[in-house]
Structure 1
Amino acid sequence: MQRRNRKLWAFSGIVLALGLPTVVPAQTASPERVEEISKRGAEVMPFDLKQTQHVFTKTETGGVQQVVVRDPANAEQIKLIRQHLTKISEEFARGDFSDPARIHGENMPGLAELKNAQPGTLHVEYRELPNGAEIVYSSDDPALIAAVHRWFDAQLAEHGPDAMPGHPHGTMHPMHDN
């Protein structure tokens, strides 16, 4: 048993020394909170949460927020995703984060820092994807990068099964049905 533990400790040390990326699952909100967020989200987002998936990928300079359809043939949902993400990316670039505040509340982690970012310090870029769209957030300011990461964690926790963490280095793998 001690020999096995030593091997485990040695392996753990090697993993830490190599700095291998790990994905730490976000803490999930209570079922009541997830339901509340789902209801508020339906009032703000025009697409159907059950037909789409939010993917939040943290990066060294901020993060990538994707909204994609579960069924790639669902052209109507793709159109609605693109319309909404175009709108909010323009608002976010101006420091207007009122939509996430309406869904998650004004005290959402990271939100105050993002709303109060000095012009030009948080870059927000919209991109279309074949199955939806994404918003790329980037900054040179470590405090804003940390705020984006906290903001992503809060969304992962509160959107429940409608959200998932992305893969390190921005790679995407095919989604699996829940």
Structure 2
Amino acid sequence: MYSNPIVIEAKGAEGVRVENQAGLKVDKSGYAVISGSTAYMRNRVALRAEDIGQNVNIDDPVISDIVPTKYAVVKVKFDVRSGQSVLTTLSFNGKTVTTGASVIDIKTQKNVGLVGLNGQAFLSGVSSGQTLLVKWGEDTTEQCQLTLPTLSNRQTGYDEINVSCTAVGAH
């Protein structure tokens, strides 16, 4: 068996511990290095969810089945978003937005939430003035956009707001 390093990139997750690696944490630059992974075998890489801060969101803190080849250095990147959490009730043309709609950051094209019952969506990693696209179909008649109002900059908990979307392109 050969030992391979795994480089973890998790920018914005400083201080989060790496699972099953005693004392190993993501450093202030957003990196950690696991030494001793096994070549040609499945290696599980995970960040400890309980260490993730209130205003930090990691879409998937577990990446499994990293199978390095002999002498390979493997890089694993975690998608970290920092920002606030908001419980929104979304409406479009006077009706609540369809359950199952995706809420997407227009700038990064990353999903920041999913619409549930009664037009409610819990959004994470967002900020005041951010423009979002709400999408429940591919046609522009099945999409709307919104700009988040000023949020309270809470260190704990989340804001609750009602937001009306406008037709795509009407912003």
**Normalized against structure 1, the TM-score is what?**
0.21
Tell me the TM-score normalized by structure 2.
0.22
Which of 1 and 2 has higher RCO (CA within 8 Å, sep 6+)?
Answer: 1
- Give the structure with the larger helix fraction: 1
The structure with the largest strand share of the pair is: 2
